[in-house]
Amino acid sequence: MVLDFYVKNLEKVLNLETEYTFENLNWNGKSIPIYIGEFWTSKQRQAHSLHEISYRACFKPQLPRFFIERFSQEGDKIYDPFAGRGTTILEAAFFNRKIIANDINPLSRILIQPRINPPYIQEIQLRLEKIDYSHKLESEINLGMFYHPKTIQEILNLRKYLFDKQNSQEIDCIDLWIQMVATNRLTGHSKGFFSVYTLPPNQATSPERQIKINAIRNHKPEYKNTKELIYKKSKQLLKSLTEIQRQQLYQAFQTFFMLNKDASNTKEIQDESIQLTVTSPPFLDVVDYGKDNWLRCWFNHLPLDEIQKNITKTNSLLIWEKKMFQVFLELYRITKKQGYVAFEVGEVKKGKLKLEESILKIGLKSGFECKGIFINKQNFTKTANIWGIKNNQHGTNSNRIVLFQKV
C-alpha cells in the first residue's frame, strides 16, 4: 500500500503522456519504482535546430526537456557537470532557467558558449567575407589525407585568424560562432564537411586509417570552400531560432557560467543552489574523447595529452564507481533541498553490466533518496534497422536514468 501511494503521487508529478510499464526493484529492503516506456523520442516535438552539433555519446534534447519541465520552474538553476555539447544547458535556457555547465574537456566550452549567445546570419556572413585567407602557411602535421591542398590553406588561415583574435583579446561572439562551426565541420562523411569522406564528425580517425579509407573507397580529397560550408551550416543551426528564443538565450547568457574542471571539485558553485542536474558521465571504456577529438584539439590549439590525462576513461567498474561517488558527494553539496539529480547511464558490455544499479548504490550512499529509474525504450525505424540497431542493448541506443532527490 505504501509503495502504491508513492507511485501514484510520483506519477501525478511526472504527468506521463505515453504508455509505459511499471516494475519494482527491491534494493536493500527499499522499493524502487522502475518506469519503462518511450518517454522521449522522435514522436515528441522535434529538437531545436541549434542542437545539431555532433559530439560523442550525447543524448537527445528530449531527455533533459522531460526532467526540466517536470522538476524545475522558471528562474531555477539547471546544471550539467559533464556538459559535452551542451544539450541540457541549451534546453534549460529555452525554458527560462538559469544555466551552469562544467566539462573537463575545454572543447565543450567552444561548442556550448556560442549557441547561448548566437549572432545573426548576416553578421556571420559579413565576418566570413573579411577573414583574410591570403597567407601562405605550413602545417606542423600532415593533413593531405583529409583535405585538398587549397582547403588546407583555408583551414590554416582560419586557425591563425582565430588564434590571433584570442591572443589580442578581440574575439567576439561572431568569431566564437565561426570557431564552433568550423570545429564541427573539420571532418565528416558528407559533402557538408571540409574533409574527404571519413568517420562521422564526432569521431576523428587517425591519419593512417584515413589513408586506408581513401584507398578502399578510391577517394581523393576535393577542394571544399570552407567559408561557404561554415555559412551553410550556420543557416541550418539558426533556421528554427525565433526572436523570442533569442531573448531567452540572451537572458540565460547574462548569468551563465561554465567551468572546465573535475566534476568532483566545483567549489565555484554555491552550496544548495542547484534545483536540477541532468547529466550523463563518461562510461566504462566506451568512448575515447581525447582520441576522437585530436583534430579538433589541433585546430583550437588545445593540449591533447593533458585532455586525455584528465578525462576519466577506465574499464574498471571499481575505479569508475569510486570516481562517480566523489562526483555525487559534490552534487549533494550543491543541490537544493527538495532538488533533483537525473543521472543517465546506458547499458554497456551488451547489457551484462547495468550501470544504473551502480549509480543507485552511489547516490543512496552520498545522501540522496532514489525516486525511480526510467528506462526509455525506443522503437527504432527501418533506417535504424539497416544499421543493425534492433534492440536496446547498447548505451548509444537506449537511456537509463536514475532520478534522485535531496530531502
pTM over 0.75: yes
Domain span at residue 225 reads 121-236
Do 263 and 384 sit in the same domain of this protein? Answer: yes
Check whether residue 359 and residue 268 sit in a common domain: yes
| Cell numbers representing residue 96 in the block | 527560462
Cα-Cα-Cα-Cα torsion 196, 199, 204, 206, nearest 10 degrees, comes to: -80
Question: DSSP state, 98?
Answer: E
Q: Is there a domain that residue 241 lies in?
A: no
Residue 397, pLDDT > 80, answer no
Same domain, 126 and 102: no
37 with 143, same domain? no
127 and 204 both lie in a single domain: yes
Domains held by the chain: number:
2
What is the tens place of the pLDDT at every residue in 162-181?
A: 999 999 999 999 999 999 99
Q: Which residue has the cell 602535421?
A: 141
> What letters, b where the CB count within 10 A reaches 16 and e where it falls short, cover 9-19?
eeeeebebeee
What is the per-residue pLDDT for 18? 66
What is the spatial order of strands in the sheet that 369-376 belongs to? 20-27, 30-37, 369-376, 399-405, 335-345, 274-279, 77-80, 98-102, 257-259
Same domain as 270, residue 209: no
pLDDT at 286: 58
Question: Is residue 383 in a domain?
Answer: yes
273 and 393 share one domain: yes
Question: Is 310 part of a structural domain of the chain?
Answer: no
Query: 253-295, pLDDT tens digit by residue?
Result: 999 999 999 999 999 999 999 999 999 998 766 566 667 889 9
Q: Assess whether 8 and 50 both reside in one domain.
A: yes
Q: What is the pLDDT of residue 201?
A: 77
Which among 173, 201, 236 is the end of a domain?
236
Evaluate if residue 151 carries a pLDDT over 80. yes
Query: Does 150 share its domain with 74?
Result: no
Q: Same domain, yes or no, for 340 and 386?
A: yes
Q: Domain check: are 97 and 56 in the same one?
A: yes
Average pLDDT of the chain is 87
Q: What is the pLDDT of residues 222-241, one digit of tens each?
A: 999 999 999 999 999 999 99
Residues 20, 37: contact at Cβ < 8 Å? yes
Q: Note whether residue 96 is domain-resident.
A: yes
Domain-located, residue 100: yes
User: Of 236, 270, 299, which residue constitutes the final position of a domain?
Assistant: 236
The mean pLDDT of 47-66, rounded to a whole number, is 88
Q: Is 209 contained in some domain?
A: yes
Handedness of CA 112, 117, 123, 127 (dihedral sign): negative
Residues 169 and 231 reside in one and the same domain: yes
At 332 the pLDDT is 98
* Residue 390 pLDDT > 60: no
pLDDT tens-digit profile of 359-372?
Answer: 999 999 999 999 99
Residue 37: the pLDDT is 85
Number of H helices, E strands in the chain: 16, 9
CATH number of the domain where residue 282 is located = 3.40.50.150
Would you say residue 266 lies in a domain? yes
Q: Is residue 114 part of a domain?
A: no
- Over residues 84-133, the pLDDT tens digits come to 999 999 999 999 999 999 999 999 999 999 999 999 999 999 999 999 99
